[in-house]
């Protein structure tokens, strides 16, 4: 099991949920009673989110609290690419359980090392 930086996890999810709405940081700031600079700090993981602000974010973004702690959003952000192959890979990974995701990640890392060695010859 790996350690999760909770501030970074929340940061990525705040940004993901804000962008899903098509909002700027300024818009989210107004809707939560924050300054845009505070939203920027939150989205960079440099400022934590307390209970009151989490409640305001939930209301503004029409989200549930668990959505701010959802680790798969890291994968979702990467998967928002226009590259169809990357998008297809993300769809497949999204269907796997954690054990199989880890096995696939290990295989991908091994493959990268192998191809790097071949290129350096």
Q: Which of the following CATH numbers is that of domain 6-70: 3.30.360.10, 1.10.260.40, 3.40.710.10, 3.40.50.720?
A: 1.10.260.40
Question: Above 80 in pLDDT, residue 16?
Answer: yes
Cβ atoms within 10 Å of 96's Cβ, excluding its own: 12
pLDDT at 73: 46
Cα–Cα distance between 35 and 93 in angstroms, integer? 37
Q: Could you report the per-residue pLDDT of 23-60, keeping only the tens digit for each?
A: 999 999 999 999 999 999 999 889 999 999 999 999 99
Which pair of structure tokens corresponds to residue 22?
């098509």
pTM: 0.59
Contact 80, 12 (CB under 8 A): no
71-90: pLDDT as tens digits: 764 555 555 544 566 667 76
Mean pLDDT (the chain) is 82
Closest CA to 71 of 22, 18, 23, 1: 1
């Amino acid at each position: 099991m790996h350690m999760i930086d909770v501030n970074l996890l929340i940061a990525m999810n705040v940004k993901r949920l804000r962008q899903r709405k098509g909002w700027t940081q300024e818009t989210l700031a107004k809707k939560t009673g924050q300054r845009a600079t505070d939203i920027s700090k939150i989205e960079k993981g440099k400022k934590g989110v307390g209970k009151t602000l989490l409640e305001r974010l939930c209301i503004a973004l029409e989200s549930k609290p668990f959505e701010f702690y959802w680790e798969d959003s890291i994968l979702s952000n990467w998967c928002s690419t226009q590259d169809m192959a990357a998008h297809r890979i993300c769809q497949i990974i999204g269907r796997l359980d954690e054990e199989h995701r880890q096995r696939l990640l290990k295989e991908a890392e091994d493959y990268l090392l192998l191809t790097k060695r071949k290129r350096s010859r």
